[in-house]
Chain A
Amino acid sequence: EVQLVQSGAEVKKPGESLKISCKTSGYTFSKNWIGWVRQLPGRGLEYMGIVFPRDSDTRYNPSFQGRVTISADKTVTTAYLQWDTLKASDTAMYYCVRLSDGADYWGQGTLVTVSS
């Protein structure tokens, strides 16, 4: 059974750093792109970027380029989303997704709250 299990909710202050994770299982990690999707409170879905675990090829939505880092570690079949400097506007739910035709598997989401 394919599973994507994300790390737990985070509460951070503006200016702090954060790395959230997405642990995968049930399939060959290196064979599918993994993506991250943001959902602002009560809003729609925004694609942030994707990573191909086999060679760590990474593509970013220009709207998020430079603000976040997406990575993957094949040894632990886990993808990551990282911020060096959080802002209040980063408060949102973040989902990791497995790419096949569309996003066929989703993590349960990680709620990130950034507040002073």
Chain B
Amino acid sequence: DIQMTQSPSTLSASVGDRVTISCRASQSIGIWLAWYQQKPGKAPKLLVYKASNLESGVPSRFSGSGSGTEFTLTISSLQPDDFATYFCQQYDTFLWTFGQGTNVEIK
């Protein structure tokens, strides 16, 4: 299985901050990486696919980058609606795997 490791597990930030979440794959996955946002009691929502493509309707303050084994999700200016848990996920093979999640909380 391809292991996905996110860091940090928890991130404390303020509105307006630039936030970066990292995701590392245990082997190369090309650009086959997605990022999701999940709020309490809700299903996850797709933010980014193919490492850097923004899903339709997602605010432009979100961006994704990386390839191979190292990936990053950046929120350029954190908004109140962005406090949530974020997951990366590889889909290079049918055996998808998710990162353990990063909880973005209010500082």
Given that A103-B34, A104-B49 are known contacts, is A47 also in contact with B97, CB under 8 Å in the complex?
yes
**Given known A-B contacts A47-B95, A47-B96, A47-B98, A102 and B43 have beta carbons under 8 A apart:** no
Assembly CA distance A72 to B44 (angstroms):
22
Indicate which residue in B91, B99, B100, B101 contacts A102 across the interface (CB closer than 8 Å).
B91
Q: Which residue of A46, A101, A106 is within 8 Å of B50 (Cβ)?
A: A101
Using C-beta atoms within 8 Å of the partner chain, give the interface range for chain B.
20 to 34
CB of A45 within 8 A of CB of B43, answer no
Contact yes or no, B89 A102, CB < 8 A: yes
Pull 26 A–B residue pairs with CB atoms less than 8 Å apart, ordered by A: A44-B98, A44-B101, A45-B87, A45-B98, A45-B101, A47-B97, A50-B94, A59-B94, A59-B95, A62-B95, A99-B91, A100-B49, A101-B49, A101-B50, A101-B53, A101-B91, A102-B36, A102-B89, A102-B91, A103-B36, A103-B44, A103-B89, A104-B55, A106-B43, A106-B44, A108-B43
